[in-house]
Amino acid sequence: ETITIQELANRMAERAVDVIKLLMQQGQMLKINDVIDADTAELIANELGHTVKRVSEADVEEGLYGEPDDPADLVPRPPVVTIMGHVDHGKTSLLDALRETNVVAGEAGGITQHIGAYQARTPSGDVITFIDTPGHAAFTSMRARGAKVTDIVVLVVAADDGVMPQTVEAINHARAANVPIIVAINKMDKPDADPGRVRNDLLRYEIVVESLGGETLEVEVSALKRMNLDKLLEAIHLQAEVLELKANPNRPAEGVVVEAKLDRGRGPVGTVLVQRGTLKVGDVLVCGAEWGKVRALIDDKGDNVDSAGPATPVEVLGLDGTPEAGDRFAVVDSEARAREIAAYRQRKKRERQHARGVGAKTSLEQMMSQLKEQGRKEIPLVVKADVQGSVEAIIGALDKLGTDEVAARVLSGGVGGITESDVTLAAASGAVIIGFNVRANRQAREAAERDGVEIRYYNIIYNLVDDVKQAMSGLLAPTL
């Protein structure tokens, strides 16, 4: 256990130079970034009149995210929506269009700021929060970091183009996260728009829209002509009602960072989405490995606000460093505690970065023991194969393996080589990737190495099924 002089000084709120002087008096010539061991640190701390409490990992994180709320304290909150879909199908246009409709609806303040998320209103006045960074990467990387942010995915499909590879990817990501999908069939203004084809295409991915007798809400829109945006907002509201989204606003705030940057004038700026509680100016918070005292909160209209409740995105000023998108934040009761947790996480982060070189892997074996610990009963898998027939055969065979206690869950089954996107999905879900008669490309291999995702290759279905079967029974065949 070691600590840098800088960190020790920070934690005691003393000047590093005073620490160095003390060490010098004891015959140690050290610089600000040098490390000292825990005993020396304790000595110095005592010397400076601090009481030392060595904290264990559990101490630091424990209680940070508070107890579950009493159901009696929960009140309805707006849904949080992410827009996903194939490139050029109109995600950005739709986000912009929905944002502008909102301004037309008479909100004071005019044009909204881009802060990474914004709120819009349905014609009947219900609030909806949109994550303003379209795309799967944002969605999945947040999920990979344990942050469940999105309640509903709006899947944009261009009516003149139909279901495309990234549409399928988006479906898989939303499914893996257990988030309901609403289909927005976009570009309906185009003469070659064919919404019927979109509906039929989606059937192949087990999305049955309402007009075909299914349960998935669908809306035909045109982001360009601002057509049916009200209907889309209403559909989102309807879906949200089914989900009965609630949160307790009367508690210290917790939530997630959706965007962060270092602003020249304002310093580190993080856009956070409050998930429960209410964030207020003056609150002390820990945000990933950073901490700060909230100097100002700025909403999506660019206005300063005093507080932000559940599902409300705000920019936070006053952090000591720039957090990362996907970091969780929590309000704590003192600056000392905030500093301690942040310092601890900084250290962990460095250790992780160091360990990454060594390569931690989600092997089937590890996965099973993790699943056991969590009491989970599913083995998440991403399956890629050379032909559709193989994909179906594999999924069918894996289905048959399932028992009441444990089952394989294929998050995504597709034709083609293993790509980086497969790895992202697997990493976010703690899944293993199975390649049947296909290989991973270079980017995928690098990503798998980086994220510690196991890729297993097979060319005989029997072997594949057998391995999964053994994994299920906890008796794993030696890693290939």
* Residues in the annotated binding site for GTP: 85-92, 132-136, 186-189
Residue 238, CA atoms < 13 Å, CB-side half-sphere: 13
Which residues 91-150 are close enough to bind ligand GDP by CB under 6 A? 91-93, 134
**C-beta separation of 197 from 205 below 8 A:** no
| Shortest Å distance, C-beta 334 to ligand GDP | 44
Task: State in Å, rounded, how far the first CA of the chain is from the last one.
Answer: 36
| Shortest Å distance, C-beta 82 to ligand GDP | 13
Does 89 contact ligand GDP by CB under 6 A?
yes
| Shortest Å distance, C-beta 86 to ligand GDP | 7
**C-beta separation of 143 from 177 below 8 A:** yes
| Shortest Å distance, C-beta 186 to ligand GDP | 5
Using CA atoms, how far apart are residues 13 and 54, in angstroms rounded to an integer? 16
For ligand GDP, which stretch binds (CB under 6 A), given 88-96, 244-252, 306-314, 373-381?
A: 88-96
The C-alpha angle with vertex 335 and arms to 333 and 338, in degrees rounded to 5, equals: 80
With CA atoms as reference, report the closest residue to 80 among 313, 348, 251, 280: 313
**C-beta separation of 267 from 319 below 8 A:** yes
| Shortest Å distance, C-beta 166 to ligand GDP | 9
Q: What residues contact 245, with CB distance under 8 A and at least 6 apart?
A: 76, 77, 78, 79, 151, 311
Using CA atoms, how far apart are residues 374 and 384, in angstroms rounded to an integer? 27
| Shortest Å distance, C-beta 30 to ligand GDP | 52
Does 189 contact ligand GDP by CB under 6 A?
yes
CB of 89 or CB of 136, closer to ligand GDP: 89
Using CA atoms, how far apart are residues 238 and 126, in angstroms rounded to an integer? 10
CB of 221 or CB of 298, closer to ligand GDP: 221
| Shortest Å distance, C-beta 436 to ligand GDP | 31
For ligand GDP, which stretch binds (CB under 6 A), given 18-26, 58-66, 172-180, 187-195?
A: 187-195
CA dihedral 304, 305, 306, 308 (to 10 degrees): -140
> What does the DSSP 8-state code read for residue 27?
T
The radius of gyration of the chain's CA atoms, rounded to the nearest angstrom, is 25
CB of 87 or CB of 203, closer to ligand GDP: 87
Does 87 contact ligand GDP by CB under 6 A?
yes
Q: Count of residues binding ligand GDP (CB under 6 A)?
A: 16
| Shortest Å distance, C-beta 298 to ligand GDP | 25
H helical segments located in 334-381: 335-358, 364-374
For ligand GDP, which stretch binds (CB under 6 A), given 38-46, 218-226, 239-247, 427-435?
A: 218-226
> What does the DSSP 8-state code read for residue 209?
B
For ligand GDP, which stretch binds (CB under 6 A), given 220-228, 235-243, 325-333, 424-432?
A: 220-228
For ligand GDP, which stretch binds (CB under 6 A), given 81-89, 109-117, 212-220, 258-266?
A: 81-89
Task: Count Cβ atoms within 10 A of the Cβ of residue 137 and give its class: 0-12 exposed, 13-18 middle, 19 or more buried.
Answer: middle
Does 348 contact ligand GDP by CB under 6 A?
no
Binding-site residue positions: 85-92, 132-136, 186-189
Question: Which residue from 5, 20, 223, 471 is in contact with ligand GDP, where contact means CB under 6 A?
Answer: 223
Instruction: Give contact residues for ligand GDP (rule: CB under 6 A).
Output: 85, 87-93, 134, 186-187, 189-190, 222-224
